[in-house]
């Protein structure tokens, strides 16, 4: 059984235990532990064991506190750099540097294990470390390794958590749809990814959850080229910060029929309800396309 299935069973066990005891379950907390544990395995080849211990890892708590700065300060990146360089003693900023130091330690240990055991199964850190090794492990390489590690963990955990919360909220709101999904899944081997990809109802529900509950509602910030760009017939000057907010685009009636309604059938039985396929890009596009959907 793969690590993902083991953690899935552990998550189910926690819910069942709470139900037997007549307790409510904080699924957001469970989903968060689940996704961070999965990314720990994926990035480091080692889990945070948050789901098993039913509590957040200390370094993840530090990470969350440090990331609280990014929300209000993302539109002002120069201020972030200024603060990090001049106010390193502030608790939030100290938490960030502590997280970076922890990630560096993990990558150093991983590099040592890779050198000692050539039979280790390659993970994300393996390929990042190989690139740094080819460069001679300079200090710049270690800085990139540490920060790329933080990026990979956050990008693959918080996004999964929020998506799962939105998806299960929709299922909990519609028992009939939940029963239909359960019947579809019960008839196949859930450990086979290739089979799951062919389940129209399952994939329709996932796509619709991604549409109505995008993990990154703003879609991220972009900057126009120096020469400027023409967007929707209007010239935008060079080096202007722009946003294509997914939350807004995914709910446009000229792109999706009954855009505010949860209708998974639009992705399988009723494709005419998707008026503009280009409008649905939950994992971004181009060179910034997130690799998650292609992983097996």
Measured from the Cβ of residue 97, the count of other Cβ atoms closer than 10 Å reads 13
Q: What is the pLDDT along the chain (296 residues), one digit of tens a residue?
A: 467 788 989 999 999 999 999 999 999 999 999 999 998 888 877 889 999 999 999 888 888 887 777 777 777 777 877 877 777 777 878 888 888 888 888 888 888 877 666 566 677 777 888 888 888 888 888 888 888 888 888 888 888 999 999 999 999 999 999 999 999 999 998 888 889 889 999 999 999 999 999 988 887 788 899 999 999 899 999 999 888 899 999 999 999 999 999 999 999 999 999 999 999 998 887 766 666 666 55
For 22: left if phi > 0, alpha if psi spans -120 to 50, otherwise beta; the answer is left
Instruction: Quote the pLDDT of residue 109.
Output: 84
Q: 214: which strand partners? A: none
Q: What phi and psi, each to the nearest 5 degrees, are found at residue 27?
A: -65, -30
d(CA 74, CA 97): 18
Side-chain-side CA neighbours of 278 within 13 Å: the count stands at 3
Q: How far from the centroid of its chain's Cα atoms is residue 203's Cα?
A: 18
Considering only CA atoms, which of 270, 179, 167 is closest in space to residue 211? 167
Side-chain-side CA neighbours of 191 within 13 Å: the count stands at 7
272: DSSP letter: G
Instruction: Quote the pLDDT of residue 181.
Output: 95
Instruction: Quote the pLDDT of residue 137.
Output: 82
Cβ contacts of 160 within 8 Å, gap of 6 or more:
31, 34, 35, 38, 215
Q: Report which secondary-structure segment, H or E, holds 241.
A: strand 241-243
Instruction: Quote the pLDDT of residue 1.
Output: 45
Instruction: Quote the pLDDT of residue 228.
Output: 95
- The helix/strand/coil state of 216 is coil
């Amino acid at each position: 059984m793969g690590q993902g299935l083991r953690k899935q069973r552990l998550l189910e066990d926690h819910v069942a235990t709470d139900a037997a005891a007549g307790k409510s379950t904080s699924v957001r907390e469970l989903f968060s532990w689940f996704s961070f544990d999965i990314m720990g395995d994926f990035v480091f080849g080692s889990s945070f064991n948050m789901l098993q211990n039913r509590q957040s890892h200390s370094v993840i708590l530090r990470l969350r506190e440090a990331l609280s700065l990014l929300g209000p300060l993302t539109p002002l990146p120069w201020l972030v750099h200024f603060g990090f360089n001049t106010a390193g003693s502030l608790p939030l900023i100290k938490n960030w540097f502590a997280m970076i130091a922890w990630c560096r330690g993990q990558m150093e240990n991983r590099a040592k294990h890779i050198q000692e055991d050539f039979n280790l199964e390659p993970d994300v850190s393996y390929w990042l470390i190989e690139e740094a090794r080819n460069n001679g492990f300079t200090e710049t390489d270690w800085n990139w390794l540490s920060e790329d590690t933080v990026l990979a963990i956050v990008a693959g955990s918080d996004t999964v958590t929020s998506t799962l919360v939105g998806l299960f909220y929709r299922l909990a709101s519609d028992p009939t749809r939940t029963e239909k999904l359960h019947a579809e899944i019960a008839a196949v081997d859930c450990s086979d990814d290739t089979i799951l990809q062919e389940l129209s109802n399952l994939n329709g529900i996932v796509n619709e959850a991604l549409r109505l509950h995008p993990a990154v509602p703003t879609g991220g910030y972009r900057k126009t080229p120096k020469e400027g760009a023409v967007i929707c017939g209007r010239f935008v000057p060079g080096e202007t910060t722009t946003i294509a907010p997914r939350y807004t685009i995914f709910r446009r009636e000229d792109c999706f029929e009954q855009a505010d309604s949860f209708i998974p059938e639009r992705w399988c039985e009723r494709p005419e309800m998707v008026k503009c396929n280009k409008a649905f890009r939950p994992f971004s596009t181009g060179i910034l396309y997130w690799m998650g959907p292609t992983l097996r």
